[in-house]
């Protein structure tokens, strides 16, 4: 099937329908600029119908035998594998993702779905002792009801499924609002997979829309009890504020400004490989990407020479070409904005060790060093193929520089002494730090999330259960109770 012609619709209460909003979202190939699809946006009324449908369907779904729920995820996984070639092409076309990126994203999605097989049947209750004679305390894990999911454009298939699939596995209903740049891969394609896998109608709804049409209706609606948002810290702050005013829980996976630290005893070839991947995977449009490479002055010259040579050899171009390692950014606006930041830093005295050109959405790699301590680019999330190389003298300065950012998502430390690396990792203000690895990593059993402006809450494993369930205390008085009056 042609995903972009068949799935350019809303998916509400088990039906494919056109939106009735006053304008259209135009889905565009970021490399060619070709129009892929036109989708009329959903209205406030359609958002309401989606949430109401999820609430109705959720009650029966929660009562369904968990082993029966599990079958849906088995079938989704099988369909994903059967349609992998078509989905890979869709990722390349709508996102500008390379073959490597598409394969990486799909492997992450499969991991989530496999984990949902266990999650579907894994909820356990607890018995706790009581201070009252003859009383039995029972704790039950229950689904929250309905979860609203807002997904980003960079890994839209994975980051939507990472939230919505576990939420469904735990007995919830879901309404998904994909990013308007990736409405198919991040939205309606997912709905199609779950529909074909036999998910009951109404449980999963996809509304393709924008705040220009619906305002905060997606967040304020009375049905969802949890809002899961992945995106920028600026929007995340707004989501948190609105949700809190309505007593909703939030899971916020926000931006990053990760540092990869190269100590004086590091394996430089390994560190170079880790740094290149950590910065330039998917053109640097990864929240965990290493914006800053911190290098001990003892090895700075050797590391920098090897690093710049590796970056200069990266192939930039058509994401559908198997040889391409860096494809386009999501749109020309993003590319131009990042280019302007680079221009400002160079004008302020930074040295460009490598400076490519920007044409449309394609931006060739940039390596900057010699930045002023107060350069704003040091504290921003750089969502593109730009990297900053910063020298340091000793561990304390490395930690200080790494922590000199409002973000705290990921990080990495390279050293021959693993325990030295662990000691430094403990000092870095980030939710995840990897010794002798890259800054980009995600595993289904390990809590994923950040500190500071990088978010609130965690997903994966037990953290996902905490995010999408609630606890109910039921006490049973087995002996006759005595009351004071």
For 296-324, write each residue's pLDDT tens digit: 999 999 999 999 999 999 999 999 999 99
pLDDT bracket for residue 261 (50, 70, 90): very high
pLDDT bracket for residue 259 (50, 70, 90): very high
Q: For residue 406, which phi and psi values (nearest 5 degrees)?
A: -75, -10
201 and 305 in a single domain? The answer is: no
Report the 3 state secondary structure along the chain: CCHHHHCCCEEECCEEECCCCCCEEEEECCCCCCEEEEEECCCHHHHHHHHHHHHHHHHHHHHCCHHHHHHHHHHHHHHHHHCHHHHHHHHHHHHCCCHHHHHHHHHHHHHHHHHHHHHCCCCCCEEECCCCCCEEEEEEEEECCEEEEECCCCCHHHHHHHHHHHHHHCCCEEEEECCCCCCHHHHHHHHHHHHHCCCCCCCEEECCCCHHHHCCHHHHCCCCCEEEEECCHHHHHHHHHHHHHCCCEEEEECCCCEEEEECCCCCHHHHHHHHHHHHHHHHHCCCCCEEEEEEECCCHHHHHHHHHHHHHCCCECCCCCCCCCECCCCCHHHHHHHHHHHHHHHHCCCEEEEECCEECCEECCEEEECCCCCCHHHHCCCCCCEEEEEEECHHHHHHHHHHCCCEECCEEEECCCHHHHHHHHHHCCCCCCEECCCCCCCCCCCCECCEECCEECCECHHHHHHHHEEEEEEEEECCCCCCCC
CA distances in angstroms from 236 to 58, 100, 218, 228, 250, listed in the order given:
27, 29, 14, 10, 10
- Has residue 422 been placed in a domain? yes
Residue 282 belongs to what domain range? 258-435
Which pTM value belongs to this model?
0.95
268 and 388 in a single domain? The answer is: yes
Can you tell me which residue has the tokens 């009562």?
Answer: 63
* pLDDT score of 2: 81
For 33-92, write each residue's pLDDT tens digit: 999 999 999 999 999 999 999 999 999 999 999 999 999 999 999 999 999 999 999 999
Q: Which of 253, 300, 381, 395 is catalytic?
A: 253
pLDDT bracket for residue 123 (50, 70, 90): confident
Mean pLDDT of 355-372: 97
- Bridge partners (DSSP) listed for residue 355: 366
416 and 428 in a single domain? The answer is: yes
* pLDDT score of 122: 86
User: And the tokens for 463?
Assistant: 């953290």
290 and 311 in a single domain? The answer is: yes
238 and 112 in a single domain? The answer is: yes
| Residue 316 to residue 148: CA distance in whole angstroms | 37
281 and 404 in a single domain? The answer is: yes
Q: For this structure, is 287 an active site residue? A: yes
- Has residue 209 been placed in a domain? yes
Q: Is the pLDDT of residue 372 over 60?
A: yes
- Has residue 478 been placed in a domain? no
CA distances in angstroms from 313 to 38, 72, 207, 420, 464, listed in the order given:
37, 44, 42, 32, 40
342 and 242 in a single domain? The answer is: no
| Residue 403 to residue 456: CA distance in whole angstroms | 18
CB neighbour class for 478 (10 Å; exposed up to 12, middle 13-18, buried from 19): exposed
44 and 162 in a single domain? The answer is: yes
460 and 336 in a single domain? The answer is: no
184 and 276 in a single domain? The answer is: no
For 20-37, write each residue's pLDDT tens digit: 999 999 999 999 999 999
Q: Is the pLDDT of residue 131 over 90?
A: yes
| Residue 216 to residue 210: CA distance in whole angstroms | 9
* pLDDT score of 347: 96
Percent share of the chain, pLDDT over 70:
100
| Residue 257 to residue 412: CA distance in whole angstroms | 12
- Has residue 70 been placed in a domain? yes
Domain with residue 352: its CATH number is 3.40.309.10
- Has residue 297 been placed in a domain? yes
Number of domains in the chain: 2
For 265-274, write each residue's pLDDT tens digit: 999 999 999 9
- Has residue 445 been placed in a domain? no
Q: Is the pLDDT of residue 1 over 80?
A: no
Q: What is the mean pLDDT of the chain?
A: 97
* pLDDT score of 236: 96
For 431-450, write each residue's pLDDT tens digit: 999 999 999 999 999 999 99
112, 158 Cβ separation under 8 angstroms? yes
Q: Shortest CA distance to 453 belongs to which of 400, 391, 382, 380?
A: 380
- Has residue 444 been placed in a domain? no
CA-based radius of gyration for the chain:
24
For 149-198, write each residue's pLDDT tens digit: 999 999 999 999 999 999 999 999 999 999 999 999 999 999 999 999 99
- Has residue 93 been placed in a domain? yes
Q: For this structure, is 116 an active site residue? A: no
Percent share of the chain, pLDDT over 90:
98
Domain with residue 141: its CATH number is 3.40.605.10
Q: Which of 116, 181, 213, 287 is catalytic?
A: 287
221 and 90 in a single domain? The answer is: yes
CA 25 to chain centre: 22
154 and 54 in a single domain? The answer is: yes
């Amino acid at each position: 099937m042609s995903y972009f012609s068949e799935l350019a619709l809303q998916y509400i209460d088990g039906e494919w329908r056109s939106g009735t909003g006053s304008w259209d979202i135009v889905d565009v190939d970021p490399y060619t600029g070709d129009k892929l699809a036109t989708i009329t946006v959903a209205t406030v009324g359609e958002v309401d119908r989606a949430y109401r449908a999820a609430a109705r369907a959720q009650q029966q779904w929660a009562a369904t035998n968990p082993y029966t729920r599990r079958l849906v995820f088995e079938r989704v996984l099988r369909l994903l594998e059967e349609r992998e070639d078509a989905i890979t092409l869709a990722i390349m076309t709508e996102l500008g993702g390379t073959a490597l990126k598409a394969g990486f994203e799909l492997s992450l999605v499969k991991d989530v779905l496999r984990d949902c097989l266990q999650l579907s049947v894994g909820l356990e209750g607890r018995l706790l002792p009581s201070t009252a004679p003859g009383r039995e305390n029972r704790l039950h894990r229950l689904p929250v009801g309905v979860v609203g999911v807002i997904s980003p454009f960079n890994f839209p298939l994975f980051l939507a499924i990472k939230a919505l699939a576990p939420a469904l596995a735990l007995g919830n209903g879901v309404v998904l609002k994909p990013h308007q740049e990736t409405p198919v891969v991040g939205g309606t394609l997912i709905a199609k997979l779950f529909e074909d896998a036999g998910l009951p109608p109404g449980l999963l709804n996809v509304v393709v829309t924008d705040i220009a049409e619906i305002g905060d209706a997606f967040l304020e609606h009375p049905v969802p009890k949890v809002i899961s948002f992945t995106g920028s810290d600026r929007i995340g702050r707004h989501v948190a504020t609105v949700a809190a005013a309505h007593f909703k829980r939030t899971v916020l996976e926000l931006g990053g400004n990760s540092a990869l630290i190269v100590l004086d005893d590091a394996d430089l070839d390994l560190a170079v490989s880790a740094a290149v991947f950590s910065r330039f995977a998917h053109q640097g449009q990864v929240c965990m990407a290493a914006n800053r490479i911190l290098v001990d002055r003892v090895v700075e010259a050797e590391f920098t020479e090897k690093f710049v040579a590796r970056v200069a050899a990266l192939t930039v171009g058509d994401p559908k070409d198997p040889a391409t390692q860096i494809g386009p950014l999501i749109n020309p606006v993003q590319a131009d904005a990042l280019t302007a930041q680079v221009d400002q830093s160079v004008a302020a005295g930074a040295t460009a060790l490598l400076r490519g050109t920007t044409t449309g959405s394609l931006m060739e790699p940039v390596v900057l060093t010699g930045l002023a301590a107060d350069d704003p680019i040091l504290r921003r999330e750089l969502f593109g193929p730009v990297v900053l190389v910063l020298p340091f003298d000793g561990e304390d300065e490395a930690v200080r520089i790494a922590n000199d950012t409002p973000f705290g998502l990921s990080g990495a430390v390279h050293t021959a002494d693993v325990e030295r690396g662990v000691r430094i990792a403990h000092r870095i203000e980030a939710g995840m730090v990897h010794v002798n690895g890259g800054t980009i990593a995600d595993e289904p059993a390990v809590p994923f999330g950040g500190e500071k402006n990088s978010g609130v809450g965690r997903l994966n494993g037990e953290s996902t259960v905490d995010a999408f369930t609630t606890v109910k205390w039921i006490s049973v008085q087995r002996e006759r109770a005595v009351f004071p009056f």
